[in-house]
Every structure is written in C-alpha cells, then in structure tokens.
Structure 1
Amino acid sequence: MAGKFVLTRSSDGQYMFNLKAANGQTILTSERYQSKDGALGGIESVRKNAGLDERYERRTASNGEPYFVLKAANHQEIGRSEMYSSQTAMENGIASVKKNAPEATLEDHTTS
C-alpha cells in the first residue's frame, strides 16, 4: 500500500492536508489554505519538492525534540513533521516523505 494525502477542512473552514505513510501514520502536515485549489497546489508542491534533500530544514523544538519543515523552491513552508524522539527517527521521517509523497494518492474528505 502506498502513502496518501488526506485533504480535510479545519474547524475554521480552511483546507489542509496530511501526508500519511502506508502504515497510516501522519508524516507531514500542511499549513492551512483559504481555498481547496490552494491546498491542492500545496500537495503538488510536496510531490515536486519531497525528493530534494535541500528542501528539508531540520529543526529542534524548545523542548529539545527534533522535527523538520519541507519548503518549496521559494523558501515558503509547505509542511512540517510531528516531533520526534531522536535525530535518527526524524531522518527516518524525512526518508518516508521522500518515498511516499511522489506517488501518494489523494483522499478528499472535503466533499459530502
């Protein structure tokens, strides 16, 4: 089973997506978008940029937990990871995004 993008609406009516690995675990969460087209464009940007290591910004939260941000060519953030327990776990998360994003299917939960 391949990864998938799950497109949803937030409580304030904006659009967002999660990239989930084949095991169902969320590996990347998007920013919020005003329109569905914007969110779909974000998904395409993740697909396009996921394979490029230079697009990942590795960070450490104030509590010391590592996480990463995926950025587009214009340096705009297009998604961020959950917090990880170690640098190794974070690098595994990046590898999972690289593996899953390019061919991930779209599961649209915004239509009734």
Structure 2
Amino acid sequence: MSGWFELRKNSGGTWRLRLKAADAQTLLDTGVYPDRGAAESAIASFRENCAHEERYVRRIDSSGKNYFKLRCVRKEIIARSHLYDSESTLQQAIETIMRVGQTQVVKEA
C-alpha cells in the first residue's frame, strides 16, 4: 500500500501535515507547524517512529472510542489518531500507518 504526506500552507502562514493513503483518505493529521522546516522535521520524526508498534499508546476517550498517541523515543507525542469504534479497527489503523508512514513521497497541496 502506498501513500504520501500532504504538506499544506495555511492562510495564516503555518503548515499542516497529513498522512494520506493511496486512495487519498486521511490516515492521520499530525497538526500545525510554524514553518515549512518544522513540518519537514515532523515528517522525518514520523517516519523514524511510526514503524515501532511499542510507540503507539492505545487509549479510550470519554465516549468509549479507541484512539492512539504516537510517541517518539523521547516520549513526546508526535500525533494523535482519529477515534475508532473498536479495538480491532484501531489495530488495523496502526498497522496501515506503520506501513504507509514510511513513505518518501511528499506532496504540497
């Protein structure tokens, strides 16, 4: 499965970063960065950490839905996932992100 990182400049001058699947579905939105350099550094950090399943911290929110936080080796949170209805769909999402998140493809939107 291939995918890409979408790098988009917001109207306020900040940058937004999303991980997209081959079908253009957003797998993960990693947030907003003050400049392009910070966003590119975030991509590098994401690539480095996404392949390590132990860095995905699984949680349940107040509505009972599953989500994860991806942390780097220093324990800082890199990204927080969407909410998932079940533990199995959460696990499927993690497995997909572990594969797709190592892509070298970056598209500016």
TM-based fold match above 0.5: yes
Deviation, 1:13, is 2.9
Aligned-residue CA RMSD (Å):
1.5
Unaligned runs of 5+ residues in structure 1 are none
Residue 34 of structure 2: aligned partner: 34
Residue 87 of structure 1: aligned partner: 87
Deviation beyond 2 Å, 4+ runs, structure 1: 9-13
CA spacing shift, 1:58–1:12, aligned 2, 3 Å:
farther
Aligned residues: 109
In terms of fraction of residues, the more strand-rich structure is 2
Tell me the TM-score normalized by structure 2: 0.90
Tell me the TM-score normalized by structure 1: 0.88
State percent identity of aligned pairs.
32
Contact 1:71 1:79 in 2 (8 A): yes
Residue 102 of structure 1: aligned partner: 102
Deviation, 1:99, is 0.8
Instruction: Output the CA distance in 1 between the equivalents of 2:27 and 2:81.
Output: 6
